[in-house]
Each structure stands twice: as C-alpha cells, then as structure tokens.
Amino acid sequence: MTMRLKARILMTEFVTHDVKRFILTKPKGFKFVPGQGALMAINKAGLRDEGHPFTPTSLPDDPVIEFTIKGYARRHGLTEKLHRLAPGDVLLITEVFGDIRWKGPGVFVAAGAGITPFVAILRQLRKAGKLAGNTLIFSNKTWDDIILERELRDSLGPQCIFVLTREKRAGYQSGRIDQRFLREKIRSFKGHFYVCGPMPFIEDVNGMLLQLGATQDKLVYDGP
C-alpha cells in the first residue's frame, strides 16, 4: 500500500527508561491489522524520506494511533530524533506491511521492543474475550527494560512468563531462552508460535521450536 499520511503527535510519555509511547491523530485512510508494521518518517526537511518500521500498539478501531518506540540515543538515528519530538510535530506514515497477525491460539515469544506487534494482538484478543489458551514468553535484559508488564500480567496472568537475561529477580526466569526452557514451559508444540525480536533471536527461537516439534506453517514472524 503506497501512501503518505500525516499523523500529528498529541502526546508522548516514557513507558520505560528508553521506550516512549506516542499518541497520534489517526489520518483518514489509515488501516492495519493488529501485528502489522508501518513505515514512519518525520515530516521535517531532510527527514521525510527516512522511513523506519514501527508497529501500532493501538487497535484499528481506536480514535487515535499509538506507537511504542524504543530509542537508541547512542546511534543518533531516527529513534533519537523521534524521542525528541513534541505534541504538534507531524509524522508521515508511508506504508503498512507485515505478516504478523492473529492466526489462532498459541505461544507468543518476544524480546525487547519485539513485544509491540503482540501488544496490539493481545489487546485485540482481550477486547474479543479470546485470551484463553495463549501464553507469552517475554525476554528482556533487565526488569527496567520490560514494556507494559502490568498490562501483560493483567491480561495473561500465570500464562505470562518474563525472562531476564542480565538480572536475577524473584518471580522472573533468568538466563537465555534455550530448548530446555521451552520444553519446560510449553505444553504442546502443535499450536501457533508468534515470534518477534532482533533477527538473531527470531532465528534462534524458530530453530529451537522446529526441533521441539513445531511445524513451519504454524510459525508466525516477520523475516526474510
């Protein structure tokens, strides 16, 4: 879908030390399926063609759009500039794309900002009363990095498993997600698996899931 939709920032706030939520006006004609990404640029001279992918965490019927964006200040790239924007600034949405979408109950496996497509999907399932039968495994470096922990726990209860790779903390799993961990936490490998995070994470997790009995047609992820 080629387009150039203008969305004005209504508010921003930090949800973790380096992740901000952006509430934007919803331009006419903006349509997406929860889980899909959108190419976004800043409507300022020299930046209009620098579109990067982000995922709406709001629902298609919401009157505004929400994005939840991790800033990489040290990279001096687009997310640093996005984090400096203020209400009134305008973003350009040029494309909606991506294969992540709800296909049936299963296990969501996310790392860091890779949670964003699942936030939208889980909000959609909650609204429809269809959260039962889903599990979330969410990996972060430390407790401070977890995005929307309260909401996720409130939605999924004990079916929400948080993993911390660089911190030990009571009530949280520690270490990296490996085959033993997945075998321990996942009852059946017959359902859908939704995987999102940095590309090496997606490749590792998909590889382990396939070895444990998941089938390729049940893996839902964005990748090459």
Ligand X SMILES: Cc1cc2nc3c(=O)[nH]c(=O)nc-3n(C[C@H](O)[C@H](O)[C@H](O)COP(=O)(O)OP(=O)(O)OC[C@H]3O[C@@H](n4cnc5c(N)ncnc54)[C@H](O)[C@@H]3O)c2cc1C
Binding site for ligand X (CB under 6 A): 37, 52-55, 67-70, 72, 75, 77-80, 98, 113, 116, 198, 222
Is the CB of 55 or the CB of 140 nearer to ligand X? 55
Is the CB of 53 or the CB of 213 nearer to ligand X? 53
Dig out the tokens for 187 from the structure: 């009852």
Is the CB of 79 or the CB of 139 nearer to ligand X? 79
Evaluated on CA atoms 117, 188, 129, 164, the torsion sign reads: negative
Is the CB of 83 or the CB of 218 nearer to ligand X? 83
Closest approach of ligand X to the CB of residue 193, in Å: 17
Using only the alpha carbons of the chain, give its radius of gyration: 17
Is the CB of 141 or the CB of 180 nearer to ligand X? 141
Contacts of 190 (CB under 8 A, 6+ apart): 213, 218
Burial category of 200 from C-beta neighbours within 10 Å (exposed 0-12, middle 13-18, buried 19 and up): exposed
Is the CB of 213 or the CB of 223 nearer to ligand X? 223
Closest approach of ligand X to the CB of residue 55, in Å: 4
* Residue at shortest CB range from ligand X: 77
User: What is the residue type of 220?
Assistant: V
Dig out the tokens for 31 from the structure: 């349509």
Closest approach of ligand X to the CB of residue 37, in Å: 3
Q: Are 217 and 103 in contact (CB under 8 A)?
A: no
In angstroms, rounded to a whole number, what is the distance separating the alpha carbons of residues 11 and 89? 10
Count of H helices and E strands in the chain? 5, 12
Is the CB of 22 or the CB of 189 nearer to ligand X? 22
Contacts of 194 (CB under 8 A, 6+ apart): 35, 100, 106, 107, 108, 109, 117, 118, 121, 220, 221
Closest approach of ligand X to the CB of residue 75, in Å: 4
